[in-house]
Amino acid sequence: MYSVGEFIVHPGQGVCKVEGVVQEPMAVYQLMPIGQRHPVRISFPLASADKLRPVLSRDEAIEIIDQYPTMQIDPFTGRSNALEEEHFKQKIRTGSCLDSVRIVKTFQTRIAETRARNKKPPVVYERILKQASQRSLEELAVALELTPEDVRLLFEQRIDEAQN
């Protein structure tokens, strides 16, 4: 069971703060999504708590950032952009922060390769990149007690260090 004040990851809303636990009429967590323009408190049944997961630890967050320059991209390709989008969105919803970071790297690479061929990348690539980036930056920011922009700068520093 999660405690009031604890940060957790909701499959649809991303990182949320547990604001309370209500027992009547049905046992639910009162969750407040963070990092959204207009967050709305959501109720999530305690009976489905197995779909929630704790935010990763500070050490795990640092490890993900450190391994980013050498991280392998996700090799999945579908028969269509719609199948790829469904696969990656499901992975973002149910996977770990590491999965989201790997998806970010995958789609940054795919977009760069497409542009290198003087082609316009599919809109779905940008959409998946944005969703995975937002999800991973929010979780890493909470774990490291930084802003998402500071986390983005840490990634850029690691990439620069790896290239030099």
Which pLDDT tens digit goes with each residue over 140-156? 999 999 999 999 999 99
The tens digit of pLDDT for each residue in 21-51 reads: 999 889 999 999 998 888 899 999 999 999 9
For the record, the structure tokens of 21 come out as 């636990």
Instruction: Tell me whether residue 132 is in a domain.
Output: yes
Same domain, 76 and 101: yes
Same domain, 80 and 156: yes
Instruction: Tell me whether residue 1 is in a domain.
Output: no
Same domain, 45 and 62: no
Which of the pair, 163 or 156, is modelled with greater confidence?
Answer: 156
Confidence grade of residue 78 (pLDDT, cut at 50, 70, 90): confident
Same domain, 48 and 68: no
User: Given its phi and psi angles, is residue 57 left (phi above 0), alpha (psi -120 to 50 degrees) or beta?
Assistant: beta
Confidence grade of residue 13 (pLDDT, cut at 50, 70, 90): very high
Same domain, 63 and 143: yes
Q: Which of 54, 76, 92 is the last residue of a domain?
A: 54
Domain total of the chain: 2
Taking CA 90 as the corner, what is the angle to CA 139 and CA 64, rounded to the nearest 5 degrees? 35
Measure Cα distances from 25 to 10, 22, 30, 44 in Å. Answer: 22, 8, 13, 13
What is the pTM (predicted TM-score) of this model? 0.93
Instruction: Tell me whether residue 2 is in a domain.
Output: no
Same domain, 63 and 50: no
Chain centre to alpha carbon of residue 116? 27
Instruction: Tell me whether residue 148 is in a domain.
Output: yes
Same domain, 92 and 128: yes
Q: In which domain, by residue range, is 134 found?
A: 58-163
Same domain, 81 and 142: yes
Same domain, 37 and 92: no
Same domain, 104 and 151: yes
How confident is the model at residue 128, as a pLDDT?
A: 97
Percent of the chain residues topping a pLDDT of 70: 100
> Could you give the CA distance from residue 71 to residue 65 in angstroms, rounded to a whole number?
10
**With 90 as the cut, is the pLDDT of residue 74 above it?**
yes
Are the C-beta atoms of residues 107 and 74 closer than 8 Å to each other?
Answer: no
- Name the phi and psi angles at 139, rounded to 5: -70, -45
